[in-house]
C-alpha cells in the first residue's frame, strides 16, 4: 500500500465493484470476475503509464492495488443478493471511479509538468480506458462510444479543474469540485437521458 | 504542428475520414466519432511507438495531429449528406491512409537504422493496426483478418520500396512509387475481388 | 534464432499451431491465419515486455520467433486434413504453450529479481494474454473469462514452482514439474469438466 493515496484507493475500489457487476451480468466464474475487476480498475492507469513511458507499471511490484481489487470483488460478490438492479449499481460505482480517476490522471500530468490539454487527455484516458478494455473483453460495444455522455464528462471536469486553478482556487478544493462535477454530471446525464447529437440520424 | 510532415498530415486526414465513416455506419455520437477517428489515425503509430519504446507518445504533447483529426472529422460530418455510399468512401480514404502510413512506418525504421524486414513490419503495423483497434472497438471482425487483401498490400509496397532503393533509385521517387503501389493495389484488389486463398474452404 | 531457448521455441510453436486452428475455425485467409498465429504466440510476451519496459520488443529485430510462427502455421495448414476435430487439437497445443510460456514468464521475473508474486503474475500474463488478444481479434469471448479453468492453471503451476524452489529443489526439475503440472491440470480440467464456481448462478 506504499504509495497509494486515498483518491486512488477509492477510485480503484469503485471501478473494481463496477467491474464485478459487469462480469456478473455475463455470468463469468470467480477468477474471470477478478480479472475483469482488475482490468476495469487498473487498465486505464496502465495504458496511461505505457503511453507516457512510466514502466515497469507499479502494480507489478506493489500489491496494494491488487489487494483492493480482490477485497472489492469479494465485497461485490457477497452483497450481490442484496442488490436488485445490477445495472444501476454498476452505473453508480462507475461514476465514482470516473471522477476519482480523472483527478488522478490530471495529477499525473501536472507532476510531469504537462500542458493542461495533455493533463485533461491523461485524466480522460485514466478514467475511461479501463472500462473500454473491460467492455471489449466482454464483447460489449464500449460505453464510451455509445450515445451516452461519458468521456465528455471527464473533459468537462478537467476543464473546470484548470479554470478554477487559473482563478487562484487552491488545489484541494479544485480537486473536490472537479470530482463532484464529474460524478453528478454523469449521474444526471443518465437519469435525464442527456446525450450528444448523432447528427446522421436524419439520413 | 511542430514536427508533422506532409506525408503524416495526409495519412492522418485520410484515416480520420475513414474512421468517421466507419463510426457513422454504427451511428455513434459526435464525440464517439471523434475518438474512433483518432484511434484509426493514430492507433497504428502509437502501437509502433510503444513497441519500439518511443514514449511518451508524441500526440500527448503536440496537438497538430489531434487538430487534423478534429478538422477531418468535422469535414466528414459536414459532407456526409453528399455521399451515397459510406462504404466506398471509407475504402477510398482507407487506401490513401494505408499507403502514406506504410511509408511513414518504413521511414521510422530506417531512421533507427533497422533491417529492411523490420522496417516493413513497422510500416505494416503503422498502417494496419489503427484500423484493427477501430474494428475491435466497434465489435467488427478486423478487415485485416478478412478475406480481403489488406496487410499484404503493405508488405508488397514495402518490398517494392527496398528493391528500388537497392537498385539505386533516390528516396523521394521510391517513396512515391511505394505509396502509389499500395493505394492502387488496394483499390484494384477490392474492385476485382482479389483475395488470398483460404485453403481449408474445401473441407 | 540468437537468443531463443528450447523452452521458448516449443511454446512458440505450440501456440502458433493453436492459433492456426483457431483461425481455421473462422475461415480466415492464409495471411490472416499467420497474423493470428503470431499474435497467439507472441502477444503475451509482448504485453509482458511492454509492462516491464523491455522495449524495443525482441521480435522486431530477431526473426527466429517469426520464423517458428511461419513454419508452425505452414505445418498446421498442411496437416489440417488429417485432423478430425480442430477443437481438441487447439486444446492440446494451447495447453503445451500455456505450460512452457508460464515458465518463460516466471524466468523473466526471476532474472529481474522480482518477488515470487510478481513472477507468477508475469508468467500468467505471458501464457494467457496472447490467447486473450487472439480471441478478442476473432470476436470470441476470451477463453480466460469463460467457465473453464485457464489462468488459474498458470497460477497453480507458478505456486508449485516457488514452493519447490523454497524446498531446495534445483531449478531444472522445478521448471519441468511446473510445466507438467500446468499441461496435465489443464487437460484434466477440460476432460472432467472442472470449473470454478459462478456463485451468482443461483440468482
CB contact residues (below 8 A), chain C span 8-37, against chain A: none
As a whole-number percent, the residues of chain A with pLDDT over 70 amount to: 95
pLDDT grade, residue C4 (50/70/90)?
Answer: low
CA distance C79 to chain A (A): 32
Cis peptide before B160 (omega within 30 of 0): no
The residue-averaged pLDDT of C85-98 equals 86
The Cα A43–Cα A38 span in angstroms is 7
B44/A137: higher pLDDT: B44
Q: Where is average pLDDT lowest: A5-9, A192-196, C115-119, C167-171?
A: A192-196
Task: Supply the pLDDT for residue C203.
Answer: 42
Instruction: Determine contact: B55 vs chain A, CB below 8 A.
Output: yes
Q: Which of B121, B136, B146 sits opposite C136 (nearest CB)?
A: B136
Q: Is residue B162 part of a domain?
A: yes
CA angle B177, B50, B14 (to 5 degrees): 40
Q: Is residue A201 part of a domain?
A: no
Task: Supply the pLDDT for residue B202.
Answer: 43
> CB under 8 Å to B109, separation ≥6 — which residues?
B118, B119, B120, B121, B122, B123
Q: Is residue C188 part of a domain?
A: yes
Q: Are C105 and C126 in contact (CB under 8 A)?
A: yes
Neighbouring chains of A at 3+ CB pairs under 8 Å are B, C
C24/A120: higher pLDDT: A120
Q: Are C125 and C117 in contact (CB under 8 A)?
A: no
Task: Supply the pLDDT for residue A2.
Answer: 45
Q: Is residue C203 part of a domain?
A: no
B52 CB neighbours in chain C (<8 A) are 55-57, 60
How would DSSP label each residue in A60-121? GT--HHHHHHHHHHHHHHHTGGG-S-HHHHHHHHHHHHHHHHHHHHHHHHHHTT--HHHHHH
The verdict on a CB contact (< 8 Å) between B29 and A114 is no
Which ipTM was obtained for this model? 0.90
The residue-averaged pLDDT of A31-50 equals 94
Task: Supply the pLDDT for residue A202.
Answer: 43
The residue-averaged pLDDT of C105-113 equals 95
The Cα A82–Cα A80 span in angstroms is 5
As a whole-number percent, the residues of chain C with pLDDT over 70 amount to: 95
Neighbouring C-beta atoms of residue B30, cutoff 10 Å: 16
> CB under 8 Å to C18, separation ≥6 — which residues?
C40, C90, C93, C94, C97, C131
Task: List the grid coordinates of A172.
Answer: 484541494
Q: Where is average pLDDT lowest: A49-58, A128-137, B90-99, C186-195?
A: C186-195
Task: Supply the pLDDT for residue B203.
Answer: 43
Domain range for C12: 6-194
Q: Name the domain count of chain C.
A: 1
Q: Is residue C156 part of a domain?
A: yes
Q: Where is average pLDDT lowest: A192-201, C27-36, C177-186?
A: A192-201
Instruction: Give which of C145, C159, C201 to mutate to test A binding, by max A Cβ within 10 Å.
Output: C145
Q: Where is average pLDDT lowest: A33-37, A43-47, C79-83?
A: C79-83
| C39 exposure class (CB count in 10 Å sphere: 0-12, 13-18, 19+) | buried
Instruction: Determine contact: B141 vs chain C, CB below 8 A.
Output: yes
Instruction: Give which of C28, C38, C133 to mutate to test B binding, by max B Cβ within 10 Å.
Output: C28
Task: Supply the pLDDT for residue C19.
Answer: 93
Task: Kindly tell me if the per-residue pLDDT of C43 is higher than 90.
Answer: yes
Task: Supply the pLDDT for residue C179.
Answer: 95
Task: Supply the pLDDT for residue C172.
Answer: 93
Residue labelled with grid coordinates 464483447: A139
Task: Supply the pLDDT for residue C52.
Answer: 96
> CB under 8 Å to A33, separation ≥6 — which residues?
A19, A20, A23, A24, A73, A77
Task: Supply the pLDDT for residue C5.
Answer: 85
The verdict on a CB contact (< 8 Å) between A52 and B56 is yes
Q: Which residue of A has its CA nearest to B133?
A: A136
The verdict on a CB contact (< 8 Å) between A141 and B136 is no
C89/C198: higher pLDDT: C89
pLDDT digit string, tens, across residues B92-119 = 899 999 999 999 999 999 999 999 999 9
Task: Supply the pLDDT for residue A190.
Answer: 86
Task: Kindly tell me if the per-residue pLDDT of C2 is higher than 60.
Answer: no
The verdict on a CB contact (< 8 Å) between A30 and C198 is yes
DSSP 8-state class, residue C142? P
A138/C69: higher pLDDT: C69
As a whole-number percent, the residues of chain C with pLDDT over 90 amount to: 65
Q: Is residue C1 part of a domain?
A: no
Q: Is residue A181 part of a domain?
A: yes
The verdict on a CB contact (< 8 Å) between C198 and A29 is yes
In chain B, which stretches have pLDDT less than 70?
1-4, 147, 199-203
Task: Kindly tell me if the per-residue pLDDT of A135 is higher than 80.
Answer: yes
Q: Is residue B128 part of a domain?
A: yes
Whole-number mean pLDDT of chain A? 89
Amino acid at each position: 500500500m506504499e504509495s497509494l493515496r486515498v483518491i486512488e484507493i477509492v477510485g480503484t475500489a469503485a471501478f473494481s465493484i463496477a467491474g464485478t457487476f459487469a462480469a456478473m451480468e455475463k455470468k463469468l466464474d470467480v477468477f474471470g470476475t477478478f480479472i475483469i475487476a482488475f482490468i476495469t480498475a487498473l487498465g486505464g492507469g496502465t495504458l496511461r503509464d505505457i503511453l507516457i513511458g512510466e514502466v515497469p507499471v507499479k502494480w507489478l511490484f506493489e500489491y496494494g492495488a491488487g489487494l483492493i481489487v480482490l477485497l472489492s470483488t469479494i465485497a461485490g460478490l457477497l452483497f450481490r443478493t442484496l442488490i436488485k438492479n445490477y445495472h444501476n449499481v454498476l452505473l453508480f460505482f462507475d461514476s465514482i471511479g470516473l471522477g476519482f480517476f480523472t483527478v488522478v490522471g490530471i495529477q499525473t500530468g501536472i507532476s510531469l509538468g504537462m500542458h493542461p490539454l495533455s493533463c485533461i487527455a491523461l485524466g480522460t484516458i485514466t478514467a475511461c480506458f479501463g472500462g473500454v478494455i473491460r467492455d471489449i473483453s466482454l464483447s460489449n460495444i464500449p460505453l464510451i462510444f455509445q450515445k451516452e455522455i461519458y468521456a465528455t464528462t471527464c473533459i468537462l471536469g478537467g476543464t473546470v479543474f484548470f479554470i478554477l486553478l487559473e482563478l487562484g482556487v487552491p488545489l484541494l478544493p479544485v480537486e473536490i469540485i472537479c470530482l463532484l462535477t464529474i460524478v453528478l454530471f454523469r449521474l444526471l446525464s443518465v437519469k435525464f437521458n442527456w446525450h450528444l447529437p448523432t447528427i446522421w440520424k436524419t439520413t
